[in-house]
């Protein structure tokens, strides 16, 4: 596999994905009963922004670095953005890692309650070893070396009958990864129809994205929505124009809140105003 997330850690897509992840975890925690969180493509867990690939790419400077700085000086940001900033800053202080950025397994580890559990699955040996070390003493998040899609078959349904799955594939083979995410989601819902599933996807060409979302909608028996944020027009040739999340079984009012925080986040990430946002229903009633 050629893809290395270390080059892209903390970019605008990471910020978008992580704000949504925190909001989804908070939504599940409105009920006292515990749940299972599964991260199918967990990565290494922790990324240095001040050195190595992330510094070379510079993507974090206009992503997490800029957003976190803006949030520290803002008193009017939506609660989801304030929460995101607090989670990242709290972890940095605890880990003495002012110039590092946490991946989704570490973010989840900060938020899980004693009654919640998590599995962070990574297929690449070196990335898995880094993930295991990064998680350290976080006993509620267990790192596993393997195929995340295959592990879903064994992990679902959890005993609690409550769960959140994050699918964040590398999209080296974009069409192949799209198809695999659809199949994994369909299989997961067969086992556990109430599972909340968040599928991250890149927005490179709006026509391709819309075709994939239509295909996803045809295969889903449950309510779903798509939430997208672009910093370039979604049909431009910039490469990665935007970040999207297809969310199956979205929590109550998630779409309405997403409209609010995505617009505020785009204003921070896209001061030139070349991008945009949207939240659309794919299946059933999502609002």
The catalytic residues are: 168
DSSP annotation of 250:
P
Sign of the C-alpha dihedral, residues 100, 9, 166, 31?
positive
Exposure string of 239-269, with b = 16+ CB inside 10 Å and e = fewer, is ebbbbbbbbbbbbeebbebbeebbebbbebb
Our measurement of the distance from residue 76's CA atom to the centroid of its chain's CA atoms, rounded to an integer in Å, reads: 24
State the distance between the two ends of the chain, measured CA to CA, in whole angstroms.
38
Residue by residue, DSSP assigns 190-212 as: HH-TT-EEEEEEEES-HHHHHHH
Q: What angle do CA 69, 26, 214 make, to 5 degrees?
A: 90
Q: Are 197 and 167 in contact (CB under 8 A)?
A: yes
Q: The tokens 């109550």 sit on which residue? A: 252
- Beta-bridge partners for 122: 145
Rounded to a whole number of angstroms, the CA Rg of the chain reads 17
Q: How much of the chain is in helix, strand and coil states, percent to nearest 5?
A: 45, 20, 35
């Amino acid at each position: 596999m050629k893809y290395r997330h270390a080059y892209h850690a903390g970019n605008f897509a990471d910020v978008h994905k992580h704000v949504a992840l925190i909001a989804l975890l908070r939504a599940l925690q409105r009920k006292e009963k515990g749940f299972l969180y599964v991260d199918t493509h967990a990565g290494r867990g922790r990324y240095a922004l001040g050195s190595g690939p992330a510094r070379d790419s510079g993507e974090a400077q206009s992503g997490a670095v800029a957003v976190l700085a803006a949030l520290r000086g803002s008193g009017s940001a939506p609660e989801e953005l304030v929460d995101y900033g607090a989670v990242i800053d709290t972890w940095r202080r605890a880990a003495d890692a002012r110039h590092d950025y946490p991946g989704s397994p570490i973010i989840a580890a900060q938020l899980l309650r004693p009654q919640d559990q998590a599995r962070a699955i990574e297929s690449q040996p070196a990335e898995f070893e880094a993930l295991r070390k990064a998680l350290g003493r976080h006993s509620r998040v267990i790192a596993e070396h393997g195929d995340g899609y295959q592990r879903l078959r064994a992990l679902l349904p959890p005993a609690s009958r409550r769960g959140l799955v994050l699918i964040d594939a590398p999209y080296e083979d974009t069409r192949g990864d799209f198809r695999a995410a659809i199949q994994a989601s369909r299989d997961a819902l067969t086992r556990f129809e109430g599972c909340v599933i968040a599928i991250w996807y890149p927005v490179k060409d709006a026509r391709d994205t819309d075709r994939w979302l239509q295909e996803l909608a045809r295969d889903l028996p449950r309510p779903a929505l798509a939430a997208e944020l672009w910093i370039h027009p979604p049909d431009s040739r910039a490469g990665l124009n935007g970040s999207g999340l297809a969310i199956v079984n979205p929590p109550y009012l998630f779409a309405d809140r997403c409209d609010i925080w995505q617009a505020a986040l785009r204003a921070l990430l896209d001061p030139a105003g070349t991008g945009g946002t949207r939240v659309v229903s794919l299946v059933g009633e999502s609002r």
